[in-house]
Every structure is written in structure tokens, then in C-alpha cells.
Amino acid sequence: MSAPGGGVMSRPQVRVVSFKPVQRNTLRGFATVEFGSLRIIDCSVHEHVTSGRCWVSLPGKPVLDDQGRINATDRGKLAYSPTAEWTNRNASDRFSQLVIAELRRDWPEAFTNGAAR
């Protein structure tokens, strides 16, 4: 990977700088993540307890109706749309893995039984 000016760019490091626990369905809380010089606030952290699968989603924004109210889905959940997205599944999966590893080390209480699987 080339840097502007011709040097070689190193891979950005991922670091969790804060975590706010929230337990609801698969949601375990919200993490603020530094990815290189980018700070991503309120990435949602999820755990599917039965399968043990954990993942991290980029933040979204509420979908609003004509009157500025948040739309709900058919199931009555609030609707959100992405504000950013990964260009491929591998990048998304790798980001999740790195964030989950940081959380497992620094905030093990975020997951069932104190550790993500």
C-alpha cells in the first residue's frame, strides 16, 4: 500500500477506547473504536448466545418519516440506515475480529460468561 508521497503505509491499528454496556437481544453495548487516525463512535457490539458468534457493526442513523419521526420496521423495531460500510465482507469480518479481541481482553464483562467465543 503506497502512502501519499511514495512511502509505504502500514496497516491501521484497531483500538477500543471506550465501551458502554447495553444488554438487549444480541446487543451487548456500544464501543468507540480508533482505526488508525479515525475514531468511530457507537459501533454496536453483538453476541448470539446460542451460537457464540460475536460481531461489531458500524454506527447507523435513524430513518425518518416526512414529519421527522423515526420509522419503525414491520416488527415494530426502529429503522436505521448505514452511514458507512465496508467494501467487502473480509474487511468487515476482520474489523469485528480485532474489536472483539480488544473487548475480550479489556472488557470481558461485555460478553456472556465474561468472554466472547
Domain count, the chain: 1
Q: Is 37 contained in some domain?
A: yes
Distance CA 100, CA 115 (A): 10
Q: Is 112 contained in some domain?
A: no
Range of the domain at 71: 14-107
Q: Is 59 contained in some domain?
A: yes
User: What is the per-residue pLDDT across 29-63, written as a single tens digit (0 to 9) for each?
Assistant: 999 999 999 999 999 999 998 998 999 999 999 99
Please give the model's pTM, rounded to 2 decimal places. 0.80
User: What is the per-residue pLDDT across 86-108, written as a single tens digit (0 to 9) for each?
Assistant: 999 999 999 999 999 999 999 99
In this structure, what CATH number is given to the domain that contains residue 90?
A: 3.30.1120
Do the strands 14-24 and 27-35 form a parallel or antiparallel pair, or are they unpaired?
antiparallel
Q: Is 70 contained in some domain?
A: yes
Q: Is 89 contained in some domain?
A: yes
pLDDT of residue 29: 97
Q: Is 113 contained in some domain?
A: no
